[in-house]
Amino acid sequence: MRSTTDLTFTEQARRRQILDGAMRVIAELGYAQTSIARIADEVGIAKSVVLYHFKAKNDIIEAVVATVFGTAVERMAPAVADCATPTEQLAAYIRSNIAFIADNRVPAIAMLEIVTGYRSPDGLRADQAVPLQESADLQGWSVLDPESIFAEGTRTKAFRPLSPVFMKNALRAALDGAVWEYARDPQYDITGYGEELVTIFELATRSQR
Amino acid sequence: MRSTTDLTFTEQARRRQILDGAMRVIAELGYAQTSIARIADEVGIAKSVVLYHFKAKNDIIEAVVATVFGTAVERMAPAVADCATPTEQLAAYIRSNIAFIADNRVPAIAMLEIVTGYRSPDGLRADQAVPLQESADLQGWSVLDPESIFAEGTRTKAFRPLSPVFMKNALRAALDGAVWEYARDPQYDITGYGEELVTIFELATRSQR
Amino acid sequence: MRSTTDLTFTEQARRRQILDGAMRVIAELGYAQTSIARIADEVGIAKSVVLYHFKAKNDIIEAVVATVFGTAVERMAPAVADCATPTEQLAAYIRSNIAFIADNRVPAIAMLEIVTGYRSPDGLRADQAVPLQESADLQGWSVLDPESIFAEGTRTKAFRPLSPVFMKNALRAALDGAVWEYARDPQYDITGYGEELVTIFELATRSQR
Amino acid sequence: MRSTTDLTFTEQARRRQILDGAMRVIAELGYAQTSIARIADEVGIAKSVVLYHFKAKNDIIEAVVATVFGTAVERMAPAVADCATPTEQLAAYIRSNIAFIADNRVPAIAMLEIVTGYRSPDGLRADQAVPLQESADLQGWSVLDPESIFAEGTRTKAFRPLSPVFMKNALRAALDGAVWEYARDPQYDITGYGEELVTIFELATRSQR
DNA sequence: AATGAATGAGCTTTCATTCAT
DNA sequence: CATGAATGAAAGCTCATTCAT
C-alpha cells in the first residue's frame, strides 16, 4: 500500500484542491447535502475525477477529518506544551483552539458538520466507526486530550476537586459550540467568546481557599 | 380546517405511534439517514400509512420538534419560575434541563439530531428556516432563554460582570453536549455531569468580593 | 342491474353535485391532473363519498361524457331537425353547437379535455375505448353526425361535389377549436367565430354555377 | 456551459434515440401517461440512463417540442416564402403543413399530444407556461403565423372581408384535426384531406365579385 | 349513506459507484 | 490522469382503490 507521501506532486495538488472544495461545500450545505457531484462542481472538475482520486465518498470525509485534525493539533499542541502549570495549559488549550477556529472557519465548520452528521452505512456515528477513529489517533489527538490537563490539575491540587471527564466534556462542548455560532454568523466575536471561556474555566477550576 | 385537537382517537394514537418510531429512528440513524420507509419499518406499517397521517416528511419533523420542545418547556419553565434569585434560577435551569434529558433520552437525542442536522432544500439551517422556527416560537421557548437569567444576574450584581450572550452560548453548548454523550453511551452519568455543570456555572458567575 | 332512473332522489342529487365538481376541476386543471381527492375537495365532501357514488374514476369520466353529450344533443338535434335544406341544416348545426358551447363553457371544456386526454389503462383513446363509445351511442349522437348532412347535400346537388368525411372532419375540428380558444380566454367572441364558420362553410359547400 | 452543438457523438446519438422513443410513447399513450420508465423501456435502456441524458422529464418534453417545431418550420417556411400572393401562400401553408404531418406522423402526433395535454404543476396550459413558450419562439414560429397571411389578403383585397383571427383559428384547428384523425387511423388519407382544406379555404376567402 | 384508514403500485428525481476508453 | 456513460438503489410523494365500520 502506498502512503500519502508516495503521491506525485500533481496528485497531491489535486487531492488538496478537492479537499478544499469538499470543505467549502460541507461547511455551506452540511454533511448530508454534500454530494460528490456538488464537490466536483465546486472545484470545477468532472465527478469521475473526484472518485479517481478518492475512490469513495467516505475516503474524502476521512481525509477531511484527518487534515483538519492535523492542522488543529499542529496549532494547539505546541501552545499547550509551552505551559508549565495545568492552569496555564488549560487557558492555552482554549485560546489555541479558538485561534484555530478563527483562522480556519471553513475547515472547522466542515469538521463539525462531519462529526455530528456522519453515519456509517450501518448508522454508526463518526466516533464509533472504525476508519474515522484511526484517522484521529494517527494524528496524535490523545496528546491533546484536555482530560489529562484536568486530571493533572486535580492531582497536584492546582485545581479544586473535580471530575476530569465531566470537565472535559463541558469544555469540548463549549468549544464546539463556538463553531456553531461562527457558522451561523461569520461576524461572531469568537475571540471574545474564547476569553469568556478562559475566565469561566479559570474560575470553575481554581482551588478554593 | 381541523385543528390538532379534534382528530379521532385512532388518528391520535397512530400519530403518536409514528412520532415515537420517528424519534427512535432519528436518534439511532441521525436526521439525514432517516427515511419515511425506515420509520414505517420501525413502526411496522406501510410507508403510505405514514404519509397518510403526515403528508410530508417535514410534517413529521416539525411534529417531533414541537412535541419535544413542548415537553421540555413544560418541565423546565415551572422549575425556573419557582426560583427567586438568578443564581437559583440558573441552577434550576441546568438541573431541570438535565432531568428532562435523563427522562427522555430518545426524544432529546432526536431533537438534537434534527436541530444540528436539518437543512432546508436550499441548505439553510434549522434556525434560519421558517417552518421549524415557528414550531419553536409557538411553544414559548423564549420564556426559557437563559440569556435573560444571565442579564438579570448581571444587572442586579448577583453575578460578576459577564457577557450574557457568551454565557448563554457556553451553557447551551454544555447542555447539548450532555445529549451527545448520552447518545454515545446510555450508561453515561448525565446527572453527575449536570451537577458538575451547576458547580461550574455557580463558580463562574458568582460575583467576586 | 340498476339503471340511472332507479336511483333515489338524494343519490341523484349527489351524483349531479359530484359531476359538476368534476367538470369544474377537469376544465381548470385538465384531465390528467384531476384526481378524485381534488374533486372531493371541490365539492366539499370526503374522497370516499365520491367513490361510494361512482365506484371508479372511470365511471365519473363516463358519466361526464354522457351528460355533456346528452345536453349537447338535446340542444342541437331539434335545431337541425327544424331545417329543410342541407344548407340550412349545416348553418343550424354550427350555430346550435356554438350556442351550446357559449352557454356551457365549463362542461364543454371538460368534455374536450377528456376526449383529448383520456386513455384507458392500456393506452386507448376515448374514441377507441369501448365503454365511452357506448355512452355516446346511447345518446343518439349518430342522429347528429354532420357527415350525413354533407352526404345529403352532395346527393341533392345542394352542395358542390365534396368529400362528406373530410368536410365533417374539418367542421368538427373547427368547432372543437372554438372550445380551446374559449378555454384559453373566457372573453373570446365565440359567437363571432361561429358566424365566421357559418360563412366559411356556406361558401365552401355552395354548388358552383 | 456547453451548448447543444458540442455534445459528443455518442451523446448526440443517445439523445436522438431517447427523443425518438419518447415521441413514440407520447404518440401512443398520450402526454399524461408517458413516464420516464416507459420511455426507457421503449428504448431498451435503464430509467437512469434517460435521466443521465436529460436530467428532468420536462427537458425531454422541451426537446421534443423544439425538435418537431424546428422540423415543421424548416419544411413550411420556404414553401410559403416562395409564394407571391396571399392566395398562393395560404394554399402553400396548408399543403406544406399537411406534407409535414404525412412525413412525420409520430412526431406530429407527439407534438399535438404535448400541446393539448401539457399542464404545468399549477395547471397552466402549454401556451401559458413560460419554458415551452420559449422553445416555440426560438424556432421562429411567428414567421409562420397564418394570421398574417389572412391580414395581408384582406388588406390587398385578394380576400373577401374577413376576420384574420377567426380564420387563423379555424385553419389551425382544421390542420390539427388532421393529426387527430391520422393518430386514430394510420391509413387516413391525409393528403386528400389537405386538398379538401385547400379548396375550402380557397372558396371561403376568395373575394366575391 | 357516508367515511376514516390503509395500502400497493407507480411516479420523478438524486446519488454513489463501476467501467471502458 | 481523466472522464463520459451507465446503472441500481433508494428517496419523497401521489393516487385510485379496498375495507370495516
Which chains contact A through at least 3 pairs of Cβ atoms less than 8 Å apart? B
Task: Give the residue from chain D lying closest to C31, CA to CA.
Answer: D117
Per-residue pLDDT tens over the stretch C158-183: 999 999 999 999 999 999 999 999 99
B122 CA, F4 C1': Å apart: 28
Give residue C9's pLDDT: 81
The tens digit of pLDDT for each residue in C75-116 reads 999 999 999 999 999 999 999 999 999 999 999 999 999 999
Q: B134-143, D12-21, D165-174 — which is least confidently predicted?
A: B134-143
Cβ-defined contact of A169 to B193 (cutoff 8 Å): yes
Residue A164 · residue A151 · CB < 8 Å: yes
Q: What is the pLDDT of residues B33-42, one digit of tens each?
A: 999 999 999 9
Q: Separation of CA C137 and C1' E7 in angstroms?
A: 38
Mean pLDDT of chain B: 90
Q: Is D67 left (phi over 0), alpha (psi -120 to 50) or beta?
A: alpha
Give yes or no for a contact between C102 and C188, defined as CB atoms under 8 angstroms apart: no
Q: Is the C-beta of residue B10 closer than 7 Å to nucleic acid chain E?
A: yes
CB A36 within 8 Å of CB A47? yes
Task: Return positions of chain E under 7 A from a protein CB.
Answer: 1-20
Q: Which three cell numbers stand for residue B200?
A: 461550574
| More reliable by pLDDT, D126 or A28 | A28
CA distance B209 to B96: 29
Chain D positions touching C206 (Cβ under 8 A) are 203
Helix (H) or strand (E) holding D44, with range, is: none
Decide if A127 contacts A137 (C-beta within 8 A): no
Cα four-point dihedral sign C51, C53, C55, C58: negative
Min distance D2 CA to chain C CA atoms (Å):
35
Q: Which of B127, B170, B180 sits opposite A184 (nearest CB)?
A: B127
Protein residue closest via CA to C1' of F3: A48
In this structure, the dihedral spanned by the alpha carbons of residues D95, D100, D103 and D109, taken in order and rounded to 10 degrees, is: -120
Distance C40 CA to F16 C1' (A): 13
Number of other CB atoms surrounding residue A170 within 10 Å: 26
Q: State the best of A147, A176, A180 to mutate against chain B, taking most chain B CBs within 10 Å.
A: A180
Section D85-105 average pLDDT: 97
Joined together, the cell numbers standing for residue A46 give 468532472
CB-based contact A129:A120 (threshold 8 Å): yes
CB contact D124 to C (< 8 Å): no
Measured between CB atoms, which of D163, D196, D206 is closest to C167?
D196
C-beta separation of A186 from A104 below 8 A = no
- How far, in whole angstroms, is CA C130 from its chain's centroid? 17
Judged by a CB distance cut-off of 8 A, whether residue A169 touches chain B is: yes
Burial of B54: CB neighbours in 10 Å, binned 0-12, 13-18, 19+:
buried
Give the integer Cα–Cα distance in Å for C57 and A60. Answer: 51
pLDDT at D162: 96
- The string of DSSP letters for B152-182 reads HHHHTTSB-S--HHHHHHHHHHHHHHHHHHH
What is the tens place of the pLDDT at every residue in D171-198?
999 999 999 999 999 999 999 999 999 9
Chain D interface, mutation test: which of C120, C180, C191, C206, most D Cβ atoms within 10 Å? Answer: C180
- HSE-CB at A49 with a 13 A cutoff on CA atoms is 15
- With an 8 Å Cβ cutoff, are C170 and D116 in contact? no
Residue D26 contacts residue D64 (beta carbons within 8 Å): yes
**Whole-angstrom distance, CA of residue B124 vs CA of residue A186:** 15
Query: How buried is D97 (Cβ within 10 angstroms: 0-12 exposed, 13-18 middle, 19+ buried)?
Result: buried
- pTM for the whole thing? 0.89
Q: Is the Cβ–Cβ distance between D61 and D118 less than 8 Å?
A: yes
**DSSP secondary structure string, D135-162?**
HHHHTTGGGG-HHHHHHHHHHTTSB-S-
Q: Is A9 exposed, middle or buried (0-12, 13-18, 19+ CB in 10 A)?
A: exposed
The yes-or-no verdict on residue B137 having pLDDT over 60 is no
pLDDT, tens digit, for every residue of D5-40? 556 788 889 999 999 999 999 999 999 999 999 999
Nucleotide nearest to C47 (CA to C1'): E3
Predicted pLDDT at C1: 42
**CA–CA dist D71, D110 (Å, integer):** 13
Interface test with C, best of D98, D175, D180 (most C CBs within 10 A): D180
CA atoms within 13 A on the CB side of C130: 1
Looking at beta carbons, which residues of chain C come within 8 Å of D172? 177
Q: Does residue B128 register a pLDDT over 80?
A: no
Q: What angle do CA A89, A144, B171 make, to 5 degrees?
A: 70
- Taking the CA of residue B97 and the nearest CA in chain A, the distance in Å comes to 15
Asked if chain C contacts chain B via 3 or more Cβ pairs within 8 Å, the reply is no
Cross-chain residue pair D196–C116, CB shorter than 8 Å: no
What whole-number distance in Å separates Cα of residue B79 and Cα of residue B91?
10
Span CA (B51) to C1' (E7), Å = 11
| A46 beta carbon to strand E: under 7 Å | no
Could you identify the residue written with the cell 416560537? B137
Q: Place C6 in a pLDDT band, splitting at 50, 70 and 90.
A: low
Inspect the interface and report whether the beta carbons of B200 and A200 lie closer than 8 Å.
Answer: yes
Which segments in chain A show pLDDT lower than 70? 1-7, 130-143, 209
Nearest-CA distance from D203 to chain C in Å?
5
Taking CA–CA distances from D176, the nearest residue in chain C reads C173
Domains of chain D, with CATH numbers? 57-205 (1.10.357.10)
SS (H, E, C) C27-57: HHHCCCCCCHHHHHHHHCCCHHHHHHHHCCH
Tell me the three cell numbers of residue B18. Answer: 409514528
Look up residue A190 and give its amino acid: I
Flag residues 24-43 of A with CB < 7 Å from strand E. 33-38
Taking the C-alpha atoms of residue D157 and residue D86, their distance in angstroms, rounded to an integer, is: 10
Is residue B161 within 8 A of residue B154, CB to CB? The reply is yes
Is the pLDDT score of B1 beyond 60?
Answer: no
Query: What burial class does residue A59 get, using C-beta atoms within 10 Å of its C-beta: 0-12 exposed, 13-18 middle, 19+ buried?
Result: middle
pLDDT for D142: 62
Candidates B127, B166, B203; nearest CB to A193: B166
pLDDT tens-place string over residues B59-93? 999 999 999 999 999 999 999 999 999 999 999 99
Q: Supply C117's cell numbers.
A: 386526454
CA distance C111 to C119: 14
Indicate whether C146 pLDDT > 80.
Answer: yes
Per DSSP, the three-state class of B194 is helix
Smallest CA-to-CA distance from A88 within A187, A156, A163 is with: A156
Residue A156: all three cell numbers together: 497536584
A69 close to B (CB below 8 A):
no
| CA C196/CA C180 separation, integer angstroms | 17
CA distance A193 to B169: 9
Q: What is the DSSP letter of B142?
A: G
Phi/psi zone of residue A57: left (φ > 0), alpha (ψ -120 to 50 degrees), beta? alpha
